[in-house]
Amino acid sequence: MSKPKLALYWAASCGGCEVAVLDVEEKILDVADFFDVVFWPCAMDFKYKDVEAAPDGSIDLCLFNGAIRTSENESMARLLRRKAKLLVAFGSCAMEGCIPGLANLTNREEIFQWVYQDSPSTSNTEATRPTPRCAVPEGELEIPEFYDTVRTLGQVVPVDYFIPGCPPQPPQIVAVLSAVMQGSELPPLGSVLGAGEKTCCEECGRTRKEKRLKRFHRFWEIEPKPDECLLDQGIICMGPATRSGCGGLCPKANMPCRGCYGPAPNVTDQGTKMVSAISSVIDSQDPGEINWILDQIPDPVGTFYRFSIPNSMLHRKQADTQAR
């Protein structure tokens, strides 16, 4: 009897999700014993033609990590969707857009202008830019097209399940893979796996008294008390707007939640939820003072939407003309 087939793919991301799979430690041996890994370019020498040659629907499970930044990412998303019975958006980049999605606050032209001409470390007197096709003596070279807009996996192809996290935590990965390996009944399609149904605050052991604040602090400006809610201490913590499931690891390490598990259940937009939480703790009725307090939050969009711009109501910075 042939083994179920497993594929893993890395699109626009840092690669942390690939490492997270290995972080399940000795459980990786169970995965290798149960599945026939038919595609994992990061770890083994597979070629795209191997996937293209496989029958449609022949891959039982595909963990797809990374956002859709280029034409190659999109092409592989469509190919793996066709080949996989279950396609999982694995990690924050695939599910929400994550850090690559912050590029939606600008556009392709501005990115190219900075990277290839204006950055202090760039020496490019001929103003050379990458192009999708380029003629060379050996023939024509082709590289992926760099899209103007970063999209989530679910904005490109239908996704069966979502596993949040930057990266997903090993116990959650093990739980999901074990459910598949044991033949357990999975939740309805479209469900978020490996996460909780409350907010990160619900699994944080710190005491919250919902103090009213006169100012916010950068993390390095104060020494946080180890047992008191970080937001009560004036440190921006995304816990009130973030889904549970990670175990509150960052607050346990005396660091604020960054929001990588995405919006809490029944929250449409993580950023606006956090704005609501912030507005409820400001101790002032004076518009001028309120503005002064809010000015202490550096880069509010990058803070409140660090992991979720493409999947939020904002989606991207608006422009008169967008390439994609």
- The tens digit of pLDDT for each residue in 301-322 reads 999 999 999 999 999 987 654 4
Closest CA to 293 of 190, 237, 214: 214
Residue 161, beta-bridge partner list: 88
Cα gap 7→135, rounded to integer Å: 34
Cα radius of gyration (the chain): 22
The pLDDT value recorded for residue 85 is 96
**Whose structure tokens read 């816990």?**
239
Residue 63, beta-bridge partner list: 8, 88
Q: pTM for this structure?
A: 0.91
The pLDDT value recorded for residue 44 is 87
List the chain pLDDT tens, one digit each, 324 residues.
689 999 999 999 998 999 999 888 888 899 989 999 999 998 888 999 999 999 999 999 999 999 999 999 999 999 999 999 999 999 999 999 999 999 999 999 999 999 999 999 999 999 899 888 988 899 999 999 999 999 999 999 999 999 999 999 988 899 888 888 888 888 999 999 989 999 999 999 999 887 889 899 988 889 999 999 999 999 999 999 999 999 999 999 999 999 999 999 989 899 999 999 998 889 888 899 989 989 999 899 999 999 999 999 999 987 654 445
Give the 3-state secondary structure of residue 39.
strand
Strand order in the sheet with 36-39: 36-39, 5-10, 59-65, 84-90, 161-163
The pLDDT value recorded for residue 319 is 64
Cα gap 3→70, rounded to integer Å: 33
The pLDDT value recorded for residue 163 is 95
Q: Which two tokens stand for residue 196?
A: 């909780």
Tell me if 263 sits within 8 A of 242, measured CB to CB. yes
Residue 77 half-sphere exposure toward CB, CA atoms < 13 A: 27
| Domains along the sequence of the chain with CATH | 5-99+149-181 (3.40.50.700), 108-147 (no CATH), 200-304 (no CATH)
Q: Rounded to whole angstroms, what are the CA distances from 267 to 180, 205, 262?
A: 28, 23, 10
- The tens digit of pLDDT for each residue in 127-181 reads 899 888 988 899 999 999 999 999 999 999 999 999 999 999 988 899 888 888 8
